[in-house]
Amino acid sequence: MKLRWGLLAAGTIAAEFAKGVLESDLCELTAVAARSAERASAFAERFDIGKSYGTYEELLADDEVDAVYISTPHPMHAEWAIKAADAGKHVLCEKPLTLTYADTERVIEAAQRNDVFLMEAFMYRIHPQMRQLRELIESGALGEVRAVDVTFSYASTEAPERLTDRALGGGGILDVGCYCTSLARLVSEAATGLEAVEPIEVSGMARLAPNGVDEVAMGLLRLPGDILAQLSCGFRLAQDDHIRVYGDEAQLYIARPPWIHGMRPAGVSKMVLTRSNGQTEHIKAQTEKGLYAAEADYVAAHIADRQGPEVSWQESLANARTLDRWLAAVGG
């Protein structure tokens, strides 16, 4: 029997996930809920979803919904993830899982209490390219890893309120910087063999809007393995999104990380390994499904485990605490 999904919110990201479920092998779309019945109905018609609801509570009361995908504004994640768990639904919640480490703890406690699956939707972690990156580091192909450089930044000329309002969890760090911290920590985990690592030191600076929201931010982490990480993110400045991992024998470069929009459909992704002698190797990863389809099937495959191995509850806690520290460092 396929995993029956209910979509809790009907915005742009929900539409991307819905397209993914339509491609998946193990899942199907059963219901969608929005803050108005009209909006939910229009979304349901667009994706041929059988049921639509004008309130989130109605969707959670539907016995034919097994799992919910939460893509509400950030401050609502904790509330509805807990309510979904209390309703006995499995939960895939968009990143960041919550706005703080303390709220992330609360959500995980709800999942444990109700014995349901819970995962933060860092879909990039299940991309084959990330598995290749981990394997290359673990194999010693880069030598001793010394540093990582990650950028995820874009220019939004008419930024939505969710980015510019502190009350809505606005700012670049929570919107896209969370990917940077997650990736830097992944590199440290691969290099050290540790799980759910957290930085030993965190510092940072940001260009703040008058209301205190971080528009452009940079962070510097010292991670286990004495690995230094340089992070750059924002929603008011277009930069070259990339990942660079530096070892004492080689460096790895990804010009188009799998989290950017152009890399989410099925296709080929590339990275370049450059050795200290100047020799280069181009490494490709082929995906047969879009990233959201793969994510939906990944959840279905790990329902019995109650969490996804690549994005475990401890991973989410470690990332949340790192984000808390970065925000505190920049004064956001």
Q: What is the pLDDT along the chain (332 residues), one digit of tens a residue?
A: 899 999 999 999 999 999 999 999 999 999 999 999 999 999 999 999 999 999 999 999 999 999 999 999 999 999 999 999 999 999 999 999 999 999 999 999 999 999 999 999 999 999 999 999 999 999 999 999 999 999 999 998 777 777 878 888 889 999 999 999 999 999 999 999 999 999 999 999 999 999 999 999 999 999 999 999 999 999 999 999 999 999 999 999 999 898 877 667 778 889 999 999 999 999 998 888 899 999 999 999 999 999 999 999 999 999 999 999 999 999 97
- pLDDT of the residue at 134: 96
Assign domain 124-330 to its CATH architecture.
Answer: 2-Layer Sandwich (3.30)
DSSP-based three-state secondary structure for 100: coil
DSSP-based three-state secondary structure for 22: helix
Where exactly are the structural domains of the chain?
3-121, 124-330
Query: Rounded distance, CA 222 to CA 150, Å?
Result: 14
- In the block, residue with structure tokens 């400045």: 237
> Is-above-0.85 flag for pTM?
yes
- pLDDT of the residue at 263: 67
- What do you get for the CA distance between the two ends of the chain, in Å? 46
- pLDDT of the residue at 201: 98
Q: 205 with 330: CB under 8 angstroms?
A: yes
Angle at Cα 308 formed by Cα 141 and Cα 60, nearest 5°?
Answer: 155
CATH 3.40.50.720 for the 3-121 domain, yes or no: yes
Residue 98: closest CA among 324, 261, 314? 324
Query: Rounded distance, CA 6 to CA 329, Å?
Result: 38
Q: 21 with 48: CB under 8 angstroms?
A: no
Residue 230: closest CA among 313, 118, 152, 136? 152
Q: Which residues are catalytic?
A: 95
